[in-house]
Structure 1
Amino acid sequence: MGIQRMDNVAIVVKDLDGAVDFFTELGMELEGRTPIEGLFADQTVGIDGIRSEIAMMRTPDGHGRVELTTYHSPALITPEPLAPAPNTVGLHRIMFAVDDIDDTIARLRTHGAELLGEVANYENVYRLCYLRGPEGIIVALAEQIG
């Protein structure tokens, strides 16, 4: 039997409230927040003594989720550099389809987002961009224009 669906993408952040605000501004809905700790968490993640909090964000269509997680114990590990280049090996970015890319960028800038390049036109079908959000997360946006 194969997989049923992709359930969520988890992102570890220092500032959970700031990340929730950013993804809310993007258009996601807060599904819920809860502390996570105990034997099941330790066994699942493979780290002893986990005390964390998660905020589950849901796309408006209800099919996509981003799990924002902050760890109270053990202490967070901050990679160097915090904001790696887009061509760094590993998880690259998370992409969202948007109705109005310019409006979305303007709203996200109020939450600290910065464009990595510029808004590009792909064959008059999509307008695309990468921006850096909270905690160095690269968020890609795509607006279908043709």
Structure 2
Amino acid sequence: MGDLRLRLNQTQRVRLEAALHELQTLAAAAAAAVTFADNIPVNPEDTILKGHGTSDQDGEVVATVCGVVERVQNLVCVRTLRARYKPQKGDIIIGRVSEIASKRWRLETNFSQGAVLMLSSMNLPDGIQVCCCTFTP
């Protein structure tokens, strides 16, 4: 677990051992599995965006949760083993448009509830309005 030493009670120790066992089984299929306080290898010349489950300590990207490292272009995040991300007010999220309606877009954000982006709430430069139309070739 890196250089960090923690005092764990029996329940926490059992959960950590179970998480480590699950990580070892996932490690064969995944690119990189990390535990709490592990360094995540990144190229120092690249501009890296630190996503959920990561933090910056002394110029290195460190995992703050147990999980699997996911990389999307310059974004590095750690997908936890069991919990899903719960967005909070002010968070910048990345989502995939799963449904387009006349006045809103439904987004898949890997959260237990659906996300809806109301097109009337979007402020674009120069007051441009968003227009949704269907196109069938």
Q: Provide TM-score, normalisation by structure 1.
A: 0.28
Rg: which structure is higher?
A: 2
Compare relative contact order (CA 8 Å, sep 6+) and give the higher one, 1 or 2. Answer: 1
**Bigger proportion of residues as strand:** 1
